[in-house]
Chains A and B, each alone.
Chain A
Amino acid sequence: QVQLKESGPGLVQPSQTLSLTCTVSGFSLTSYNVHWVRQPPGKGLEWMGVIWSGGNTDYNSALKPRLSISRDTSKSQVFLTMNSLQTEDTGIYYCNRNLGNYWGQGVMVTVSS
Chain B
Amino acid sequence: DVVMTQTPVSLSVSLGGQVSISCRSSQSLVHNNGNTYLSWYLQKPGQSPQLLIYKVSNRFSGISDRFSGSGSGTDFTLKISRVEPDDLGVYYCGQGTQYPLTFGSGTKLEIK
Q: Give the B-binding residues of A (Cβ under 8 A).
A: 35, 37, 44-47, 50, 58-62, 94, 96, 99-101, 103-106
Task: Count residues of B near A (Cβ-Cβ below 8 Å).
Answer: 22
B48 with A103: CB separation less than 8 A: yes
B100 with A45: CB separation less than 8 A: no
A44 with B49: CB separation less than 8 A: no
**What are the residues of chain A within 8 A of B43 when measuring CB–CB?**
45
The complex places the Cα of A96 from the Cα of B51 at a distance, in Å, of 11
**What are the residues of chain B within 8 A of A99 when measuring CB–CB?**
39, 51, 94, 96, 101
Tell me the smallest distance from the CB of B74 to a CB of chain A, in Å: 19
A47 with B103: CB separation less than 8 A: yes
A100 with B100: CB separation less than 8 A: no
Q: Known contacts A45-B92, A61-B1, A101-B60: does B103 contact A106 (CB below 8 Å)?
A: no
Q: Known contacts A44-B92, A45-B92, A61-B1: does B103 contact A100 (CB below 8 Å)?
A: no
A45 with B48: CB separation less than 8 A: no
Interface majority SS on B: helix, strand, loop or mixed?
loop
**What are the residues of chain A within 8 A of B1 when measuring CB–CB?**
61
B:33-59 near A, CB below 8 Å: 39, 41, 43, 48-51, 54
**What are the residues of chain A within 8 A of B51 when measuring CB–CB?**
99-101
**What are the residues of chain A within 8 A of B7 when measuring CB–CB?**
none
B48 with A46: CB separation less than 8 A: no
Tell me the smallest distance from the CB of B31 to a CB of chain A, in Å: 14
A44 with B103: CB separation less than 8 A: yes
Tell me the smallest distance from the CB of B109 to a CB of chain A, in Å: 15
B53-75 interface code vs A (CB 8 A; 1 in, 0 out) = 01000001100000000000000
Closest to B106 in A: A44
- Asked if B105 CB lies within 8 Å of chain A CBs, one says yes
Q: Known contacts A100-B60, A101-B51: does B92 contact A61 (CB below 8 Å)?
A: no
Tell me the smallest distance from the CB of B44 to a CB of chain A, in Å: 12
Find the residue from B1, B43, B49, B60 having the highest chain A CB count within 10 A. Answer: B49
